[in-house]
Structure 1
Amino acid sequence: METNPAFVQTVLHNTQKALQHMPPLSLSPGSTDFSTFLSPNVLEEVDSFLVRITSCCSTPEVELTLLAFALARGSIAKVMSSLCTITDHLDTRYDASSLISSMASVRQNLLLKYGKPLQLTLQACDVKGKEDKSGPENLLVEPWTRDGKC
């Protein structure tokens, strides 16, 4: 890669262009958009190639490309590794607005698709009192005393 920087830039540009059309989690095994020709081995080779590019020519664009690929794969370990690399350059500006927007869009779509209201019910109440006010229905509304009674 050090001997042919034009090749690296071409591959990087094409990868960035492809990742613009791949939202986060689109390459994860559970995705409906997941392509069968992108086996885990192929994805691992792409990842290792991007890591090698990052090690030889670290720029904000390269680091964001690595992060976008990790997000597309849904790999928490790779996302954390990419974020650690980015935090090594806190004074550098990153143009990550489109990536953040894509992440927010995927999050919203998944919440709409799989989200359900969370209903909490009280199943039991460990109270010592035997009065009418010591039942589970009063646990959250009546003030407590020091001895655990409602």
Structure 2
Amino acid sequence: MKKILRILIVVIVIFGLIQLIPIDRVNEPIKKEENFVDSYKVSPRVKNLIIAACYDCHSNEVKYPDYAYVAPISWMVKDHVSEGRERLNFSKWGTYNNFQKEGMMEKSSATVENYTMPLPAYISKHPEANLSKADRELMANFFREVLKDLKEK
């Protein structure tokens, strides 16, 4: 019994100590002229869908939920956000060249249409990101329209 108690105390102390490891949750400032939804004539419906389904991992407008402040979950959330921003950061849209934008729009339309984005783990904690088939078609069509406009430039 004493051994179990010691193990429990060690686990609690380690859990407490890992909470002291800082995680950078600061969102960079957003420049309206670089932000994706401000760069295009986006209907309010599409804008709301993109923000609800994409912006928490693919922008500088991340709203960290309470569980994102508890290590080691906070490390995983930060890793997902960093990876998402590396692949596509809607807040930095205006800084990408046309080749990058085309690739991002091709990938965005495909992943939304194929149900690979948003991630199932994200949807489980954020029901507003659970897109219906019609929502997915609307977003994919919008991304394809943007792609078409980019290719015409």
Q: TM range, normalised to the smaller chain?
A: under 0.3
Q: What is the TM-score with the length of structure 1 in the denominator? A: 0.25
Query: Greater RCO between the two (CA within 8 Å, min separation 6)?
Result: 2
User: In proportion to residue count, which structure has more helix?
Assistant: 2
Task: Name which one, 1 or 2, has greater alpha-carbon Rg.
Answer: 1
When normalised by structure 2's length, the TM-score is 0.25
